[in-house]
Amino acid sequence: MYRLAALLLLSILSVNNSPTIALAQSDAEKHDAIRPIPREGGWMKRHESMNERVEKGNVDVVFIGDSITQGWEGRGKNVWAKFYGERNAVNLGIGGDRTQHVIWRLQNGNLKGISPKAAVIMIGTNNSGSNTPEQIAEGVTEIVNILRHQTPKTKILLLGTFPRGATKDDARRIVNEKSNQIVAKLADHSNIHYLDIGSNFLNDDQTLSKEIMPDLLHLSERGYQIWAESIESALADLLR
């Protein structure tokens, strides 16, 4: 009876091609990719500093993610200044984050009081060692759902999780690719736009150069240039 009721609730909330997923379980029953949880130490300090920034308003675009997104403040700072310095952009990336940490942050102030024109989401690679592609996709879907609920006027540019590892046979790259195939289906070409720019980082033989990702995960300045150039047309359209 319980299972039937849960399935009925899911079907009701899935009308109109909405990506919303109804999760009847309590937080304790959810798998960890969708179970919101904070982290400690410097993570909380950065989270609070991001909340302080958004409270000031004047936010037209947010970048949501993990250390690769936070890296716009490191190796990517010159590219950020060039592409986003005058676009009222806010970096909501924290190193080491998984989908569950981003879910918690978004539920605890990262979007409070703002309605950006656009949000760029790139998250999931830190889940790839412990979660299935399906679980990661559920985590990404929950993040999208939160944005659609909290900031319904915001256009979402959902990026496929970037490739990692030296070759196409890298186990965690394969997980990312499989989860990307699932989350791509969230695109409605109106409020949610999906873009996979992963191939732009790769050589013709699908290998990953350390010139682009020095540790085969995090981007070099050239990598950030590729990122910015690859999304510019799509993001410009959403910011109009």
Domain boundaries, the chain: 31-238
Instruction: In whole angstroms, give the CA distance from residue 57 to residue 177.
Output: 35
Active site residues: 67, 215, 218
Task: Determine the pLDDT at residue 199.
Answer: 98
Task: Determine the pLDDT at residue 128.
Answer: 98
Q: What is the mean pLDDT of each run of 10 residues along the chain (240 residues)?
A: 36 40 60 97 97 98 98 98 98 98 98 98 98 98 98 98 98 98 98 98 98 98 98 98
Task: Determine the pLDDT at residue 186.
Answer: 98
Task: Determine the pLDDT at residue 28.
Answer: 65
Using a cut of 0.85, tell me whether the model's pTM lies above it. Answer: yes
Task: Determine the pLDDT at residue 100.
Answer: 98
31-238 to CATH, choices 3.40.50.1110, 2.60.120.560, 1.20.1250.20, 1.10.1760.20: 3.40.50.1110
Instruction: In whole angstroms, give the CA distance from residue 19 to residue 145.
Output: 7
Task: Determine the pLDDT at residue 207.
Answer: 98
Cβ(192)–Cβ(144) under 8 Å?
A: yes
Cβ(121)–Cβ(143) under 8 Å?
A: yes
Could you list the beta-strand ranges (E) of the chain. Answer: 61-65, 89-93, 118-122, 155-159, 192-195
DSSP track, 123-184: --GGGTTTS-HHHHHHHHHHHHHHHHHH-TTPEEEEEPPPP-SSSTT-HHHHHHHHHHHHHG
For residue 175, give the amino acid letter.
V
Burial class (CB in 10 A: 0-12, 13-18, 19+), 224: buried
Which residues pair with residue 63 across a beta bridge? 91, 120
